[in-house]
Structure 1
Amino acid sequence: MAYAALSSLAQTTHRILNHHQYLISHDEKHQITLLREKVIFLREALHKFPMQASSLEARIRGSANQAEDMIEHFMYNQIWNHYYSTTNNPHHLHHDLEKAMEEINSISREAADFTTEDSAALGDSTTVRASSSMQLAGGVTVGLDEDLLKIADSLTGGSSSCQIIPIVGMAGIGKTTLAQKVYHHPLITETFMIRGWVTVSQDYKPQNIFSDLLACFKEGGIERHGQSNESMDEKVHKILKGRKFLIVLDDMWSRNAWDDARNAFPEDCNGSRIVITTRLADVASYSSSHLHQMRFMDQDQSWDLLKKKVYCPPDLEEIGMEIARRCGGLPLAIVLVAGMLSETNEFSWKQVAEKVGSAGELEKIISLSYTNLPHHLRSCFLYMGAFPEDYEIRTSKLIKLWIAEGFVEVEEEAIECLEDLVKRSLVLVKKRKPDGKIKSSGLHDMVREICRRRGEEENIQHRVSMAQPDLILLARTYGSTLRSIVCSRLISASWLGALGVFKLLRVLDVVDVNQYPLPAQVFDLFHLRYLAFACPNEIPAAIFRLQNLRTLIICPRNRFRRYSDDVIYLPLEIWRMPLLTHIVSFYSPLPDPEGVASPLNRLLELSVGRRFICTKEITEMIPNVRKLGITYFGGKFRENYQLHNLVFLHHLEKLKLVMEDGYVIPRNVWPVFPESLRKLTLNGWRFPWKYMETIGSLPNLQVLKLRNGACKGRTWETKEDQFPSLEFLEIDKCNLKKWVTEGSHFPRLKRLVLFDCSRLSNIPNDIGDIPTLELINVDYANKSLVECVKRIQDEQRDYENYVLQVHCMHRPNWKMAREAVMTAATISVGVCTIV
């Protein structure tokens, strides 16, 4: 993409001009400065005049990539000569940049012709921006009420034998939406003892279906340890045996998938149910003779849904109804069109009406939604198409990848881009955090397919089918466009050792590569900005050579190793990598910084395990960290933690402290928190409830999660003037028996979560008087607590407070959705997906 290529080149020119380690002549500096000015000009032209600049996109992308390749090769050669003290093959930029500047100057002159025209030319632009009036939060069930009742009746009534209920219909008609609404309906959650949701997809594997179910059950607190020689389907069968269950098999594509899964579900004649969603009628009829066929929306329903998704001024209602009609009754088409209808004038709405076309074909609508994206969003969107089907993309990872690719420069910009794509309904929100921010997202299958196709057409991503891809062949085929490699399949050592051919690689994610340590060639990839790998026996000091690295993720090679006493320290050289912004090391602590000259001023996130000692010197070396996660294993080091020094991290906003060994922590080593803290998670620390007075004094704390015995004791008594900003409170698994509090003690609380607190039989009625309280979530198994919170809700309704909602949930639904495991390998920008 032209815009992304220009953004990346702008960052590269800034780096070479502002880092003194690169030796450039006065003339070269002048050339690069002029180049940067042209780049910024062209980027603005693309943004402000998208239609006029569209004819220049291919030339812009080609010249920008060529110029960046020249500069990065120059930077690479200089660093190589520095490390190995060589002076061979001296390389100068002056001549190469002259050639690149000829084409860029030519493009700039053409762009100047339309950018100097009257600003009224912007009226010809078909770029449509997101409207702040769009209402996209939460699901909309327009036209699904009757379907919802029918499915709910089939699930709760009828025969006691295990029934299969297929929901069938074309893509975008609302099958999954309907299944989700039924699955989370209070009547259904109360009816079924255990529930599970699995997305099957086209490239399913039987073991993945069962492993996902087992993971779902385990996260719900239901687990059965079978014999070591038991298959996963046998384990699923034993867990479900004797229980009334509801299983959803979403997005099933073949009869074989049902044949592979069916034997895991026992027949106990207890009213258990299995819901299947599929696009294929023969798959639906194969599993059951009683199908639920999804219908197209009628004209009134289509118009109602469009109005719920975007504000329509009264004078545009006639055009709006015509747009809704042309969407052909497909909910997904209506939602996507709503994402384009941001301008509240007759001209822009007429444009959309004409382009949707009378046929209302979904593919055309999705393509139109992409065409109407601003240039700065296109690369971000196409990049998401490289992830596998139904993949749940964690926002934290996606942001790091976008930054590494050069699409955006900072996290705040990336978050805005993601939110914008969601507002346009091109990206689906899978999970949100308590503060409403997006935790994970994904693409609808149809959107992903068109996204992937456009990515291949525009050379952003490629799909290659090969068991062990030939890196030399890939290098010849894609050349300098190959900037990213993300693998989750096991790759041989020889394959990994050939990575040196990609001198300009920016992203390398080889967490599941079948060998360690990393070969020496990896540390010659000077332009790496994102590196994720499985932890070997040691982390070499050569990692220091990756001077452009922003994100470093080190995962345990064996997940059980996280709980062992092994300690593998990060090398001292980690303190000499000034561009690092994120360090996630599951069990490698930071080394003592003694003798190190400069702090990691750009470090924003640090997540470490094992023997992290929070000395004053450490806090001075990471002064701007915003997010910190620390996990401790083994009680013998508990007096050396020095967590009172956390108070010196004046920019810390999110903190997670986990204690795995269950020891009672002496008072003299209790942490002291900075006032900047907004989110705090405590797990397993067994603090006395009295310690909550200290936490309650934090002026900016919005989210507090107390998990797995974070606090010990039977009584928690709160006081006035505590928790002034707290909006979310979760208490999960504790022995609390009595909670003495008043509504005025939590003046801004919006959501209260109480789970696995078996001794807590009631909470004060004053909780219901909190004016901001919207939701109370409690454990369905705690019957007395359920009755208590329902009484509070009924009392509030007597006072005409219908805002407060109460949700009672079984354990399997508490944290049922886990992040999907990536089943394909990806090589990107071009993003080349190896399947």
Structure 2
Amino acid sequence: MADLKQQVERLENDVLAFKAFLKDYSRCGEKLWTEERLELAFQMRHVVYEAEDIIDTFVTSLEAARHSKPKSYFSRAYGTPEKLRGIARDVETVGAEVRRIYAEMTSVDDHFTKFNLIGDGGPPESKVPLIMQQDNVVGFEDEAEKLIGYLLQETQELDVVSIIGMPGLGKTTLAGKIFRDPVIKDKFPVRIWVYISQEFKMKDVFLAILRQFIRIDEDMYCKSDQELAQLVASNLEREKFLIVMDDIWTGEDWYRLETALPKSTKRGKVLITSRQVEVAQYANRNRIPHHLRLLTQDESWLLLQYEVFKKSECPPELEFLGKLIAEQCCGLPLAIVVIGVVLTIKFRAWGHMSRNVHAWTIVSENISTYLNDDPDRFQKLLRMWIAEGFVQRKVDISLEELAENYLEELINRNLVRVDKRRSDGGVKTCRIHNMLRNFCKNEARSKKENFFQEVKMYDGEFEPSVTILENFRRLCIHSDVSKFLSSQPHGPRVHSFVCFSEENITLEGQDVATIPTAFKMLRVLEAESIKFARVPSNIYHLLHLRYLTLSLNVESLPEHFSKFWNLQTLIIYTTSQTLEIKANIWQMIHLNLLKTNAPATMPKIEQSSKASENLQTLDGISPQSCTKEMPFAWTSSIIQISTKTEEPDFIIHILDWCHISILGMLENLEVLKLKDNAFMGDCWEVGRTHFRRLEFLHIGHTNLVTWVALGHHFPELRCLELHNCDELREIPIGLADAPYFRALDLCHSKLAVASAKKIQKAKEKKKEDHNDEFNYGFKLSIFPPEE
């Protein structure tokens, strides 16, 4: 066993080096991707996957052995010592393959190793795109006017103006329109356009600028970047100039480029385009980045006509369909241009108009599905990232915080846009434009990546075929789920199986065991839309599971769920009115979130036992779980208590408001949601209870009449929501003294409106008081609005 452990550790080191190599290689641009190198990269990625599976199996084998008795479910799942010897053989085989391909990859082109692992430049040259012709520049007149106004303003030093927006929004088009504007031409005798991109070389950028002033000879190419930067700065200082730097990717890129710009000049302007907000913030901290808007419906239609007919005239027979198609492009210029090419091919001016109408109708029906935004639940997305291992652990920051940082980075790059934010400013839901979504899907399922496959039915057959699933790592299916599962799929390498189906799918009899049988290496199982008549007995063999969503026809969660020692996220939907948690979730060391759709009764914890320090969120627990047996040292930060049932006459034991003091003993509680009469009685007197770290409090559907509290009871409170609190007479005015309290949301809580307005006035008065260090604005929302 010791030898096997050393072999696995060596393999793990090889995999880390391999993955770093692949990451670097993918950044080097298309020039290095010859057919031979591409094939080696495919092989490399394949053996990395194989190695990861072997390492997972070995680690899980050891951990499962610690958590189970001899000849237990682990033995049935992973076999005998012969199985471990098999793992050893696999380690040796894959390890040898890893080192062989690595040696072959680096020997194919020694230039790659020197260039990418030692050097600091990009590929030898970059492709400079042509600025879009003026003929098809549609819309953005108001945007151009505003930005030209910025460029004409007199400043005391070099001024940088930024255009920020998602890919395909028209940043380069707008910059080109400004670049060619007669007023700009007259104002700036020297105008220079430089295309940056992700793979730029500083020397190429500096030489492009210098070409406007001097002749470039071989001696210039031999100069260092620093020498060229000084030459650029000295030439620019003497001129009234405008430089457009198109498509800057990172703040670090800007820092490298600005060394050549004379900061003290009053005569120069720089206009930059970027996907990243941080680039604009780095470039000019005194000016708010200009976020480019989407095209209006009229602008979209005008652009589509230009793209198809080269003029703003469309045959009357096609006008309705054309406007419908333009609307479906959601204001994204790139989408309109792409669809315009399709319509141009479909349009035949000399043919029968009925054929044109038919062709355009088909285009309209096809894009209606693919060019709409699709909101994603932010928390579910991040937890899947974590479960798949995409979020790498760092010191002093949780995986959840890291995942949020990743998402915020995508938002700042305008690849993802925020749909709704939480009261604390964090992301609640987000959207991705479907043009970008389709691009990502196509890349993910390409042979080069083999990252993700969407299972669809075409002409009675599944694509990809059920017979080749063993080659894939992640599967997603939206329809024909029953037929897919009945075809006995087999995916020994599948790590994620995600089902978002609108069908009502129920698995009974032997079909219940299909998914665990088919996909034994699952880390992520999202099966909310599949109802299991019972808990599959073989589901406990899925020891790699980190994320699990199940819909079950059960009244209790069995003790055996404790065997999922790897589980981080557990979401259970049940047809029962209540759910008894028999599994000892307090001892599931990696469990971070437990969510149920029915009031759940928590298991008791022995006083001598220590609860898991990772459990952060309990969503849907019943009031009777708030007892003295609750682990007070537990680090949970989010609790949602509910009594909601499908049957209005179904009785659930509800505790009096005095029992809420138990929750006040949870030292790390930050979010508390009390829903559906979570506590009983008409008076809540907080008394000696202090919710020391509570930032968000929601109270809904309660018969509470009197609430007595002061600001010091909620010293960290930031947001309070009162929904359907019809009988609550007033909100404690003392909450106005809570220093961070800045958002109050009332929905169908009419009697409390007057006190809410008093709190608002008190907070406004504090804001006017210059001695108040907590100078926050206060937002009061009331629904329905008062007449």
| Separation of aligned partners in 2, 1:340 and 1:364 | 25
Deviations 1:405-461 (A, max 9, x none): 443343333221110010011111111111111111111244334444444555445
Number of residue pairs matched by the alignment = 556
Deviations 1:612-641 (A, max 9, x none): 134224984544210111244xxxxx7x53
1:531 aligned to 2:529?
no
Cα gap change, 1:304 to 1:605, in 2 (>3 Å): farther
Please say if residues 556 and 581 of structure 2, whose CA atoms lie closer than 8 Å, have aligned partners that are also in contact: yes
Deviations 1:370-404 (A, max 9, x none): xxxxxxxxxxxxxxxx9984211111121133234
Structure 1 counterpart of 2:257: 347
Please say if residues 453 and 476 of structure 2, whose CA atoms lie closer than 8 Å, have aligned partners that are also in contact: no
Cα gap change, 1:45 to 1:490, in 2 (>3 Å): closer
Structure 1 counterpart of 2:615: 625
Deviations 1:519-551 (A, max 9, x none): 424223221011133342321332210000001
Deviations 1:112-137 (A, max 9, x none): 4235535x5379999xxxxxxxxxxx
Shift, 1:752, TM fit: 0.8
Partner of residue 616 from structure 1, selected from 605, 610, 615: 605
- Structure 2 counterpart of 1:601, which letter? I
1:606 aligned to 2:594?
yes
Q: Which has the larger radius of gyration?
A: 2
Structure 1 counterpart of 2:562: 575
Structure 2 counterpart of 1:145: none
Give the match's secondary structure for 2:731.
strand
Partner of residue 721 from structure 2, selected from 722, 726, 730: 730
Please say if residues 570 and 594 of structure 2, whose CA atoms lie closer than 8 Å, have aligned partners that are also in contact: yes
| Separation of aligned partners in 1, 2:13 and 2:730 | 70
| Separation of aligned partners in 2, 1:478 and 1:362 | 37
Structure 1 counterpart of 2:696: 703
Structure 2 counterpart of 1:749: 741
| Separation of aligned partners in 2, 1:722 and 1:685 | 20
| Separation of aligned partners in 2, 1:553 and 1:572 | 17
Cα RMSD of the aligned pairs, angstroms, is: 5.1
Cα gap change, 1:575 to 1:113, in 2 (>3 Å): same
1:326 aligned to 2:307?
no
Give the match's secondary structure for 2:628.
helix
Cα gap change, 1:686 to 1:514, in 2 (>3 Å): closer
Structure 2 counterpart of 1:651: 635
Cα gap change, 1:354 to 1:540, in 2 (>3 Å): closer
1:672 aligned to 2:662?
yes
Cα gap change, 1:327 to 1:771, in 2 (>3 Å): farther
Please say if residues 603 and 624 of structure 1, whose CA atoms lie closer than 8 Å, have aligned partners that are also in contact: yes
Structure 2 counterpart of 1:113: 114
Structure 2 counterpart of 1:718: 709
1:437 aligned to 2:407?
no
Shift, 1:756, TM fit: 0.9
Structure 1 counterpart of 2:219: none
Shift, 1:67, TM fit: 3.3
Give the match's secondary structure for 1:682.
strand
Say which structure, 1 or 2, has more relative contact order (CA 8 Å, 6+ apart): 1
| Separation of aligned partners in 2, 1:351 and 1:58 | 41
Please say if residues 471 and 501 of structure 1, whose CA atoms lie closer than 8 Å, have aligned partners that are also in contact: no
Give the match's secondary structure for 2:418.
strand
- Structure 1 counterpart of 2:634, which letter? H
Deviations 1:572-600 (A, max 9, x none): 22111110001111337464358x9x921
| Separation of aligned partners in 2, 1:299 and 1:388 | 27
Aligned-pair identity in percent equals 14
Cα gap change, 1:413 to 1:448, in 2 (>3 Å): same
Alignment of 1:393-472 (within 5 A): 393-409=376-392, 410-455=399-444, 458-459=448-449, 460=451, 466=457, 470=461
**Unpaired runs of 5+ in structure 2?**
62-73, 127-135, 165-170, 180-243, 262-269, 277-305, 308-331, 339-368, 393-398, 645-650
Please say if residues 302 and 324 of structure 1, whose CA atoms lie closer than 8 Å, have aligned partners that are also in contact: no
Question: Structure 1 residues 744-753 or 581-590, which shifts more?
Answer: 581-590
| Separation of aligned partners in 2, 1:769 and 1:698 | 22
Shift, 1:36, TM fit: 3.2
Please say if residues 392 and 440 of structure 1, whose CA atoms lie closer than 8 Å, have aligned partners that are also in contact: yes
Structure 1 counterpart of 2:236: none
| Separation of aligned partners in 2, 1:552 and 1:811 | 41
| Separation of aligned partners in 2, 1:593 and 1:346 | 56
Cα gap change, 1:592 to 1:704, in 2 (>3 Å): same
| Separation of aligned partners in 2, 1:353 and 1:641 | 55
Please say if residues 686 and 709 of structure 2, whose CA atoms lie closer than 8 Å, have aligned partners that are also in contact: yes
Alignment of 1:125-524 (within 5 A): 296-302=141-147, 315=158, 317=160, 325-326=174-175, 343-345=253-255, 347=257, 363=334, 389-409=372-392, 410-455=399-444, 458-459=448-449, 460=451, 466=457, 470=461, 474=465, 479-480=470-471, 482-492=472-482, 494-510=483-499, 512=501, 514-517=505-508, 518-524=511-517
TM-score normalised by L of structure 2: 0.59
Shift, 1:488, TM fit: 3.3
Structure 2 counterpart of 1:693: 686
| Separation of aligned partners in 2, 1:612 and 1:354 | 51
Shift, 1:760, TM fit: 2.8
| Separation of aligned partners in 2, 1:25 and 1:442 | 46
| Separation of aligned partners in 1, 2:274 and 2:734 | 58
Please say if residues 247 and 274 of structure 2, whose CA atoms lie closer than 8 Å, have aligned partners that are also in contact: no
